[in-house]
């Protein structure tokens, strides 16, 4: 049975508090999750596999290291980052965790430099 499309209700008019940029981040992430993760996540769960095929598209969208400024990262603010991770979590908590951990590793590599990162692993 196909997954039900997300239909949120904004009783508190939360959207009215968001900037256009914040809405764009949320809506882009939501669409990615709806189109790419929701259709396969049940099969991935049953097979006990991580959807590796989504790593490159997630990187292309700037999900990894998204809150970092510079280094080719998206430079999202806290609200944008929170909205992005909320949508990832709605798709699958494992995928959201993967993005968060990878983002932390990206941050360490940018701050310490790749050579120092390699010696600490």
Encode pLDDT of 81-103 as tens digits.
Answer: 999 999 999 999 999 999 999 88
pLDDT tens-digit profile of 12-27?
889 999 999 999 999 9
Instruction: Note the helical H segments in the chain.
Output: 20-32, 38-47, 55-60, 78-91, 93-112, 114-120
Residues 6+ apart with CB under 8 A from 74: 62, 63, 65, 66, 67, 68
- Average pLDDT of 44-58? 97
Q: Which domains does the chain have, with CATH numbers?
A: 20-115 (1.10.540.10)
Position 108 scores a pLDDT of 73
> Phi then psi for 46, rounded to 5 degrees?
-65, -35
Classified as helix, coil or strand, 104 is helix
């Amino acid at each position: 049975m196909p997954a039900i499309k997300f239909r949120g209700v904004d009783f508190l008019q939360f959207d009215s508090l968001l900037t256009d940029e914040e809405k764009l981040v949320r809506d882009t992430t939501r669409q990615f999750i709806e189109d790419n993760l929701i259709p396969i996540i049940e099969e991935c769960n049953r097979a006990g596999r991580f959807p590796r095929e989504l790593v490159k598209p997630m990187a292309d969208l700037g999900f990894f290291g998204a809150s970092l400024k510079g280094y080719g990262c998206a430079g999202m603010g806290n609200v944008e980052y929170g909205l992005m991770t909320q949508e990832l979590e709605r798709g699958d908590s494992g995928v959201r965790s993967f993005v968060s951990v990878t983002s932390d590793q990206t941050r360490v590599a940018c701050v310490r430099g790749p050579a120092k990162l390699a010696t600490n692993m």
